[in-house]
């Protein structure tokens, strides 16, 4: 006989879960210089993991009936009692589900199953008020279920139940829209290990598949975030390139405008001076002494000097040269 476990099955599953999640490379998706390695293969198949868990499950004995009623079952019993009290006053009330000897036997067996799951480290639960919802959790994995009878005339027959020689039925919620009819449904006559064990292994199988799917999703998410970071880096680099190109184009334009302005100013100034000279040759000595010509000539030449960058001071020319930003 193997010794009792010093840890729960759920604790071992939790350790395995962390190990599997640890397979996902711990790489910062934004560290583009560090490549993301391939996702390592799982060290064992789902079937191998289940065989290992089954060996642990076999070392956890079923609880004795003297252990008492599980708290989740107590809620079912309390709801049945409420319904019974209501029927004393109102005929339209809902009948109790588990008041019959068969119903009490079902609750006793269910309580035994929930205590055994508790010993495995699972967390059975019940919720709701009028319609009690049952569930069991192992770490991050949770599964809802309901119990009832297979007989259509039974006090708590589940929808779609078919009459069989095995009166009790336990039905788990479906995780997939594509689930097959009857999947997750167990019918039996006794609450014992030959029933509990396959149900528990089914839960662990689903949990194991979900965990592997989760690990694969984490890796895909890491790859996606790396792809997103790479794309953002490319976009940032492109924006930077465009900004540099725009800045360079603006500088080229500015230099050209400086040159054009200087050349245009020089040419305009020369034309003004030529105009003054031509007028002087056309006017007589007496006419050139006329105040109107004298004032206009002074104004025209000052305008020419203002336009001609060659007339600027040395400091003004240096500031003009600095605007080219060549050094």
Q: Which pLDDT score is estimated for 177? A: 56
CA dist., res. 222 & res. 301, Å (int): 75
User: What does the pLDDT look like over 225-244, one tens digit per residue?
Assistant: 999 999 999 999 999 999 99
Percentage of the chain exceeding pLDDT 70 = 91
Average pLDDT, integer, range 177-183: 60
Domain parsing of the chain, residue ranges: 64-191, 250-322
Q: Which pLDDT score is estimated for 158? A: 46
Cβ distance 118 to 107 under 8 Å? Answer: no
User: What does the pLDDT look like over 244-297, one tens digit per residue?
Assistant: 999 999 999 999 999 999 999 999 999 999 999 999 999 999 999 999 999 999
- CA 283 to chain CA mean position, Å: 91
CA dist., res. 208 & res. 279, Å (int): 104
Average pLDDT, integer, range 177-193: 76
Buried b (16+ CB within 10 A) or exposed e, 272-292: bbeebeeeeeeeeeeeeeeee
> Phi/psi at 85 (nearest 5 deg)?
-65, -35
Buried b (16+ CB within 10 A) or exposed e, 295-312: eebeeeeeebeebbbeee
User: Average per-residue pLDDT in the chain?
Assistant: 89
Distances (CA, A) of 269 to 263, 306, 320: 10, 8, 18
Percentage of the chain exceeding pLDDT 90 = 67
User: What does the pLDDT look like over 14-71, one tens digit per residue?
Assistant: 999 999 999 999 999 999 999 999 999 999 999 999 999 999 999 999 988 778 899 9
Q: Which pLDDT score is estimated for 97? A: 86
Confidence of residue 211 (pLDDT cuts 50, 70, 90): very high
Average pLDDT, integer, range 182-195: 84
């Amino acid at each position: 006989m193997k010794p009792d476990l010093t840890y729960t099955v759920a604790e071992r599953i939790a350790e395995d879960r962390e190990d599997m999640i640890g397979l996902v490379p711990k790489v910062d998706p934004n560290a583009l210089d560090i490549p993301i390695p391939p996702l390592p293969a799982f060290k064992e198949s789902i079937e191998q993991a289940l065989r290992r868990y089954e060996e642990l499950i076999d070392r956890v004995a079923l609880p004795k009936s003297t252990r008492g009623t599980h708290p989740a079952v107590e809620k079912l019993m309390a709801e049945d009692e409420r319904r019974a009290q209501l029927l004393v006053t109102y005929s339209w009330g809902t009948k109790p589900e588990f008041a019959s000897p068969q119903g009490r036997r079902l609750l006793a067996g269910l309580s035994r199953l929930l205590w055994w799951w508790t010993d495995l480290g699972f967390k059975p639960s019940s919720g709701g008020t009028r319609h009690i919802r049952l569930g069991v959790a192992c770490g991050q994995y949770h599964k809802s279920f309901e119990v009832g009878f297979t007989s259509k005339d039974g006090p708590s027959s589940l929808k779609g139940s078919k009459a069989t020689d095995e009166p009790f039925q336990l039905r788990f919620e479906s995780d997939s829209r594509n689930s097959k009819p009857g999947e997750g449904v167990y019918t039996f006559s006794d609450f014992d290990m030959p029933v509990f064990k396959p149900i528990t292994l089914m839960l662990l199988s689903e949990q194991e598949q979900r965990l592997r799917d989760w690990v694969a999703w984490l890796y895909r998410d890491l790859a996606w975030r790396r792809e997103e970071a790479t794309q953002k880096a490319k976009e940032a680099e492109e924006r930077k390139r465009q900004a540099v190109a725009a800045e360079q184009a603006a500088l080229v334009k500015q230099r050209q405008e400086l040159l054009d302005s200087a050349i245009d100013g020089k040419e305009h100034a020369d034309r003004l001076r030529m105009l003054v000279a031509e007028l002087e040759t056309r006017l007589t000595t007496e006419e050139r002494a006329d105040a109107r010509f004298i004032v206009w000539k002074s104004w025209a030449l000052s305008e020419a000097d203002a336009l001609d960058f060659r007339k600027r001071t040395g400091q003004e020319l240096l500031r003009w040269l600095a605007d080219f930003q060549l050094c």
